[in-house]
Amino acid sequence: MKKIGITTTVPSEVLIAAGYKVVDLNNIFITSEKYNKYIEIAERDGFPKSLCAWIKGIYGVCIEENINEIVGVMEGDCSNTKALIEVLELRGIKIYPFSYPNTHKYEDVKKETIKFMNMFNVSLSEVENIREKANKVRKLARKIDELTFIDEKATGFENHLYQISLSDFEGDMKSYESNLARVIGEIENRNENKKKLRLGYIGVPPMTGDIYEFVENLDAKIVYNEVQREFAFPRIEEAKDIYYQYFDYTYPYDINVRISEIKKQLELRQLDGIIHYTQSFCYRAVQDIVIKDKLNIPILNIEGDKLNRLDARTKLRLEAFIDMLHDRKEGIL
């Protein structure tokens, strides 16, 4: 089966209908033992040190793992992707562009998606057939989300992992569906593991996956992963077609689109505080100003760079923030 890399969530239904095995380059990068090597490859080839580690990692994955075809999101994701794509084209990699229109109008999203379908010569009926199967798997991920914030049996990391993997279904939708069903059965048989504080995590998925365990050791739990949840398309029942599904996907659009959904989840999940993760050298860090102004809840902004583990300074800041939330909940503050 042909393999195609993606730089972020795209209409994978189109790619699967075209006979591709989809691989999310971010997931390969962050979970690999060659994590540092991927970054070194990019810096060796001229990528500056003052550039987001995700971009360098994606580049390194493409070169090291011989990814020959890529879908690059040119609008609605990382502002550095265009430059990355130019370098990858220079290396002989075939690029298929896709954009989330900043107008955020249904007709514009439909136009871009049809253009994407035409690139791969697939029909709407073929894509909708795959979407129906994919949404069955996404509904299983929703069950894991519920096991996190309602039943309090799944961990914050499991919530993160099994939703973020829906960007590419780990390359095999049927196998991933079976895996999810097995995991759900295991989690359902656990005892409740309730923590005193309920936290939200917003922003790009973390490079520092140990944040979930660290927080839980402080009698707190992340019960809402904003972007990861969007990867699972939690409102699929409202999506009449593939076009609306990607129109309703909040992450690529205006910050206020995201904030509207975050506010709903704050109330639904009864959150005590939010951790806002941003990546060094990323324009999204500036959005922290808007987020703190619009959301009436304590927010801690932490920033990641090259490390895939929490550093000592970030741990201290998390400890201080969570201590404050404990005091606030107990009425001390």
Domains delineated in the chain: 3-122 (3.40.50.11890)
Please give the pLDDT value at position 287. 78
Measured over the CA atoms of residue 246, residue 251, residue 253 and residue 257, the dihedral's sign is positive
What average pLDDT does range 275-303 have in this prediction? Answer: 85
Decide if pLDDT at 300 tops 80.
Answer: yes
Mean confidence (pLDDT) of the chain: 92
* Sequence letter at residue 88: L
Please give the pLDDT value at position 288. 77
Decide if pLDDT at 106 tops 90.
Answer: yes
Determine which of 69-83, 126-140, 173-187, 316-330 has the lowest per-residue pLDDT on average: 69-83
Please give the pLDDT value at position 8. 87
Confidence class for position 311, pLDDT limits 50, 70, 90:
very high
Q: How far apart are the first and last CA of the chain?
A: 59
- CA gap 93, 258 in Å, rounded: 33
Counted residue by residue, the chain has a size of 333
Estimate to the nearest angstrom the gap between the alpha carbon of 252 and the chain centroid.
11
Give per-residue pLDDT as tens, 7-50: 889 999 999 999 999 999 989 888 888 888 999 999 999 999 88
Give per-residue pLDDT as tens, 140-150: 999 999 999 99
Residue 8 belongs to what H/E stretch? none
Determine which of 15-29, 253-267, 286-300, 315-329 has the lowest per-residue pLDDT on average: 286-300
Please give the pLDDT value at position 333. 62
Percent of the chain at pLDDT > 70 equals: 98
What average pLDDT does range 243-268 have in this prediction? Answer: 94
Please give the pLDDT value at position 116. 97
Give per-residue pLDDT as tens, 154-170: 999 999 999 999 999 99
pTM for the full predicted model: 0.93
Other beta carbons within 10 Å of 287: 18
